[in-house]
Amino acid sequence: MSGPVGTFCLVLHSHLPWLAHHGRWPVGEEWLYQAWAHSYLPVVDVVSRLASEGRQDLLTLGVTPVLAAQLDDPYCLRGLHDWLGGWLLRAHEAAPRLPDLAAHEHRAAAAALTDFETRWRHGASPVLRGLADAGAMELLGGPATHPFGPLLLPEVRAFALETGLADQTLRTGTRPAGIWAPECGYTPGMEDGYAAAGVRRFLVDGPALRGVTAFGRTVGTSDVVAFGRDLDVTYRVWSPRSGYPGGRDYRDFHTFDHASGLKPSRVTGKSVAPEAKQPYDPERAAAAVARDAADFVSVVRERLAGLRDQHGRPALTVAAFDTELFGHWWHEGPAWLEAVLRALPEAGVRVTTLRGATDAGLVGAPVDLPPSSWGSGKDWRVWAGEQVADIVALNDQVQKTLVSSTAPGRARDPLRDALAQEALLALSSDWAFMVSKDSAAGYARDRARTHAGHVEELAGLLAGGRRGAAARRIAHWAATPFGSVDSRGLAG
């Protein structure tokens, strides 16, 4: 057969909960600024440089509305600028003790500052919109605050999705036709809600398609296409046991020089104690990037060749990751991405977006999907298990209060809009995830309870006709992400 051996789609999911004004360190705004500096800036820079060479349809990028709001927020933009300056100062201070590392970090921090000051000072949306409009990538949307959809009331699920899609339309000028379903969560019937909202494609995890991910599949009787992560390909990178980021020559994420906060060591070995790890060597890391990029290209090509033989025509593989893996967790990840995106076409693999795959007809027969997610067990246990029963109960009450507090009307009501926004923040899937994974569980529970408490307090004041008191209470709450939440959407 002539032509490409098959099609590769890279999908990146960028998401953090609303962190501004809710703590600084170790969980809070520091989390946002680290991910922004080490992942969002360099990953977008890779896309921009490849696009400047005339390359198109490089990848599919999801930026959740709650993250996009922070990447455009003046307070967060000032905070990142300060953080980048602090990174540069930390590199200077480390120079007498760690000269090689300090020089490496100085170059990285200076480049990030220049990039931010020349392209990002007015927010992420102009940058992303320019790349999407130029055809370099496809932007995905999603529900406003990344709630776990299967556990939402149908009307709340529809409201969260519409709020998120409308927000992205305001930011980028185009209503997204594809979404990364939060946590790849699915329950039968969700495709009908997607179709009603104008969503034409979404992501599920590979096991939801019983591992048959060679083509997108329309779901049920709808024309909405589900694309599944090909775990055989994705886990070549994102596997805690054997993924590339654990390679001995890459920078170790967990080992710190505590005086500067910089990371001076390479992985060295999985069982090597932090104090015994070897110094980080950028040249060794660059050689590892080249080696692992070549290996991944070989894996993709072999996978697609096998699928072509199996199905009798060129097929598809979708590798999907959290964006924060590239640069934040895996320091060399952006360089690896660039090497892979350059090498795949040379190896006879077509690289495109989910939209491009759909337009190329890489869609198979309809399928009925089971309840699923990409979490532990590929079911709902992370967000609905016994360990988060308190958050599940809290979310149920938040939804009931939200629905019962909604009043139809011609004019917007800023107080009810504020109630809806606090409800959406309470319903973020992050809180249950952090508890289930025992990752800052106390912070997560506090955040969920704080937002849920605001919902109940505001609902009580509105029910009692105490609008003045409600407005005064809202004025004392931390700033919130959206200015466009319209609670009238819940009233039908």
The residues carrying an active-site annotation are 183, 322
The span from the CA of 470 to the CA of 482, in Å, is 19
The distance in angstroms from the start CA to the end CA of the chain is 53
149's CB contacts (< 8 A; 6+ apart) are 143, 157, 160, 181, 182, 185, 186, 187, 190
Half-sphere exposure of residue 488: CA atoms within 13 angstroms, side-chain side: 9
* C-alpha distances out from residue 465 to 350, 458, 462, 470, Å: 61, 11, 5, 9
Find, among 336, 334, 446, the residue nearest to 35 by Cα.
Answer: 334
- Name the DSSP class of 224: P
Specify the 3-state DSSP secondary structure of 35: helix
On whether the CB atoms of residues 293 and 340 are closer than 8 A, the answer is yes
On whether the CB atoms of residues 95 and 38 are closer than 8 A, the answer is no
Half-sphere exposure of residue 301: CA atoms within 13 angstroms, side-chain side: 16
Q: 450-457: which pairs have CB atoms within 8 A and are 24 or more residues apart?
A: 451/398, 451/422, 451/423, 451/425, 451/426, 452/394, 452/395, 452/397, 452/398, 452/426, 454/419, 454/422, 454/426, 455/398, 455/401, 455/402, 455/419, 455/422, 455/423, 455/426, 456/397, 456/401
Q: Which amino acid is at 70?
A: Q
On whether the CB atoms of residues 164 and 65 are closer than 8 A, the answer is yes
Peptide bond preceding 314 in cis form (omega within 30 of 0): no
Give the pairing type, strands 178-179 and 216-219: unpaired
Find, among 330, 301, 490, the residue nearest to 402 by Cα.
Answer: 490
On whether the CB atoms of residues 339 and 351 are closer than 8 A, the answer is no
